[in-house]
Amino acid sequence: MKANPILVEITRGDLTESIHRGAYAVIKDDATVISSAGDIDKLTYPRSSLKPLQALPLIETGAANRWALTDLEFAIACGSHSGEDRHVTTVQGWLERVGLSMINLGCGAQQPTSTQARRYLVKNNILPSPLHHNCSGKHAGFLSTARHCNEPLDGYLEKNHPVQLRIKQLLSEMTLDNMEVSPVAKDGCGAPIFGISLRGLALAMACYGTGRGLSDARVHAAKKLYNAMTAQPFMVAGTGRWCTKTMTLSGSHLIVKGGAEGVYSGCLPDQRIGIALKIDDGGRRAAETIMGLLLDRFGKLNPSISLKLNALAFPPILNSNGEKVGITQIHSEV
């Protein structure tokens, strides 16, 4: 099997110190491949890059209306938050509104990814809770949907639970991958995660942004979630995080969502484009470089946004004295 191409190089001085191979797909909402590299039909686990799709039933079922959810809840349902105070209080308040608490969350406890939030817990002798888990917003969405539909809360993470079956069905419809034969595993938070092709994920994200081929209910849900992510980018990630920075500087032009092991998804509705990528070694820095490059290359962003996005995508390599000792660059094949 042919190896995926080298996408990103990290240099130090005159030498290439690291290389990152991977694959990406840039696809229009009519399934036309605009650009690609590597094997875009190989199945991969999209991890948290799938969250904007997993959140669709929250609105489609009517659960969001019943619990009077706002952009804050919609954005954190699509997010992998840092466990900062605003994240924790938002999920906690959401669960209370539904008549639940953190003991209902099946994601387990996790240290906040925010250094400041971790230090606060240590300083105040507070143990991390499931509310601090980066996926607690997604799980609050699962539980809210189950409660609204009068489905059991116990076992909501099992692959045959109605909450997960709805997601499985919509993934089949939007990616055009056959979820009946797709491998399924447990994500880091315990939720089922399906093997999906980059071609399928990029197509799903393109249609997410434009509504092409979707039911009226799904168009409405995707638009609500998209608008929430662009209006509340902090809730999608957190202070200093790449997704938050990128959506903050780009306004309403795009959404982007990272996942573990070097996976990213995004969409550019004005261009009818969806993007999906996977870095073979799971490297986040290379994933952010390629996603930034593709958003800039195909997004037709204004020069000011483009300049800032490039600074995020191609950070210099610095030593401990702040001196520039290398660069992040794309390989000639990209």
Q: What is the DSSP letter of 158?
A: S
**E strand residue ranges, 3-42:** 6-12, 15-28, 33-37
How large a percentage of the chain has pLDDT more than 70? Answer: 100
User: Would you say 313 and 296 are in contact if contact means Cβ atoms under 8 Å apart?
Assistant: yes
CA distance 217 to 323: 53
How large a percentage of the chain has pLDDT more than 90? Answer: 98
Instruction: State residue 334's pLDDT score.
Output: 82
Instruction: State residue 124's pLDDT score.
Output: 96
Q: What is the DSSP letter of 67?
A: T
**Where does residue 322 rank: exposed (0-12), middle (13-18), buried (19+ CB within 10 A)?**
exposed
CA distance 74 to 316: 34
> Once rounded to an integer, what is the mean pLDDT over residues 157-171?
98
| Per-chain mean pLDDT for the chain | 97
pLDDT class of 332 with cuts at 50, 70, 90:
confident
Full set of structural domains in the chain with CATH = 6-330 (3.40.710)
pLDDT class of 186 with cuts at 50, 70, 90:
very high
Which amino acid, residue 230?
A: T
CA distance 25 to 201: 9
The candidate with the shortest Cα–Cα distance to 276, out of 284, 266, 286, 268, is 266
Instruction: State residue 109's pLDDT score.
Output: 97
For residue 333, pLDDT over 80 is answered with no
